[in-house]
Amino acid sequence: MIDQLSRDRHQGIHFLVLLILGAILAGAAELPYGGWIQIPILSIVWWWLKQEKFASIKKMFVSGLIFGLGYFVIGLWWIYISLHDVGGMNAALSCMAVFLLSAYMAIYFSLATLTISLLHQSRLTGLFLGASWVIMEFLRGYIFTGFPWMGLAESQLNGPFAPIAPYFGGLACTFLVIWTSWEILQIKKHAVMSVVSIAAVIILSQAAGLIAFTKPFGEPITVRLIQGNFEQTLKFNPESISQQIAFYTDEIKKEAANLIIIPETAFPWPQNNLPTGLLNYLQHFSNLSSSNILLGLIGEVSGKTGSQYTNRATGLSPNTVPYQFDKVHLVPFGEFIPPGFRWFVEAFRVPMSDFARGSSEQAPFSITRLGQADINAAITICYEDIFGGELASRIGNSEKPVHLLINMTNLAWFGKSQASSQQLRLSQLRSLETGLPALRATNTGITSVLGPDGKVLSSLPEFTQANLSTQVQGYVGKTPYVRWENFPILSISCILLIWGLIRHRRF
């Protein structure tokens, strides 16, 4: 009886430490050098897991699950704000939703850590662990439409491996983070070899950043990004909506620019129900001022089941037919109901809309200028900039060269949380992967301009009503990642895992 209590106590401590380490790892992502700090934290995690030398596969799976749960609950807690504070869902159900999503995300971490138990441990284990982590992260961004938020890659904007992103993407950065964190454990046994290996990889990664695959194109364009800072509400209040539309309309016409952008759904009414003549009025302003304008609004399309709304960006250019981009990658339970879950949405009154999906082959938005070549911009709406492979594919397959990235978003759903800084890092990673500058037009923040290296060039304070007026240089060219997407790193990871399995069978 005493032995059983001792074992239970030991196991409880083991799981509690993993839960805390997961939370610390998530918190480190928000620190100035978070990408560096996360690596030794992961080393501690691997060391702690290795203490359970004879742990069963089941216990290793549960250990990885609890570690992942601590990580994602801290990283994704802000979903509670959108469900409870904005959507009005019951507090207990909102907490349960955050917990269940975090648990689902943690399964991928858990499956990746099984490599420690399933494969013969050696100095090569770091390669196999990195490969399994890459495969699991790829699947996390693909299964059930994917939700690859809070990956290790975006933290590398403040870490040693960011320069690898233009070559092989964020997943390659993840691979190197995992490998390095494991290799640190080998220093005790193989001090010289491990230190030299780690130093060489970091130096080569930093040197890789000296090569640029894109170059400036044409003259810089003048830009105005309008941040309205309107609270999110699901209540239909015509007066508030009218005030919001009036604010953005007045701000647009205050000053001409080559490009003026307002955030996602800044006009929160369906396009056909906007005030009479509003779009014609803005088109007239575009014609007179030679300004290109991007508007976030609710579109409407006709389908087999009748009319359906879309999350749309409408572009107005001087003396040109209006452009439109309908959001392609919709948020499950936020913008569409996954098959078989309508009962859940109705039973628990989940705050959402059921939008139509845009085509993945939509052309970029062309920013016209008198006497100069057009600047073509690839548009993403809200969390579409999480999916690096999809954006790289759109740019690589575009008939027109893409010179600029534009993200229009509204994070008022998530209040004063780290959601905005997390998405900013994702946008930075997309710029780094593609070698293109980016504009982020947001409702509450962080409205910003990013360089082709992912660095923030200028930004507005969060939760302020303001304009960001600046100039942006377009770039031309394609990085290796845009050309190859995730194929190289996925191929390498699969080969390593196959090698690991063959090697394991021999021992």
Query: What amino acid positions are annotated as catalytic residues?
Result: 264, 327, 382
> Packing angle between helix 57-76 and helix 34-50, nearest 10 degrees?
160
Sequence-distant contacts of 335-344: CB under 8 A, at least 24 apart: 335/311, 338/144, 338/145
DSSP for 375-405, please give it. EEEEEEEGGGGG-HHHHHHHHHH-SSPP-EE
Q: What H or E segment, with its residue span, contains residue 326?
A: strand 323-326
Query: Six-digit token pair at 416?
Result: 């004063």
Peptide bond into 446 cis (omega under 30): yes
Instruction: Report in angstroms the alpha-carbon separations of 178 from 310, 478, 485.
Output: 39, 28, 21
> In whole angstroms, what is the distance from residue 405 CA to residue 452 CA?
10
> In whole angstroms, what is the distance from residue 347 CA to residue 196 CA?
58
Neighbours of 502 (CB within 10 A): 9
Under DSSP, is residue 315 helix (H, G, I), strand (E, B) or coil?
strand
> In whole angstroms, what is the distance from residue 496 CA to residue 501 CA?
9
In 3D, which of 406, 127, 397 has the Cα closest to residue 258? Answer: 406
> In whole angstroms, what is the distance from residue 482 CA to residue 403 CA?
13
**Bridge partners, residue 302, by sequence:** 307
How many Cα atoms sit within 13 Å of 68 on the Cβ side?
Answer: 27
> In whole angstroms, what is the distance from residue 457 CA to residue 450 CA?
5
Count, in order, helices (H) and strands (E) of the chain: 17, 13
Sequence-distant contacts of 50-55: CB under 8 A, at least 24 apart: 50/116, 50/121, 50/185, 52/14, 55/117
> In whole angstroms, what is the distance from residue 131 CA to residue 35 CA?
19
Backbone angles phi, psi at 42, to 5 degrees: -65, -35
> In whole angstroms, what is the distance from residue 317 CA to residue 472 CA?
18
Q: Could you give the angle at the alpha carbon of 264 between the alpha carbons of 262 and 268, nearest 5°?
A: 95
In 3D, which of 217, 240, 292 has the Cα closest to residue 452? Answer: 217
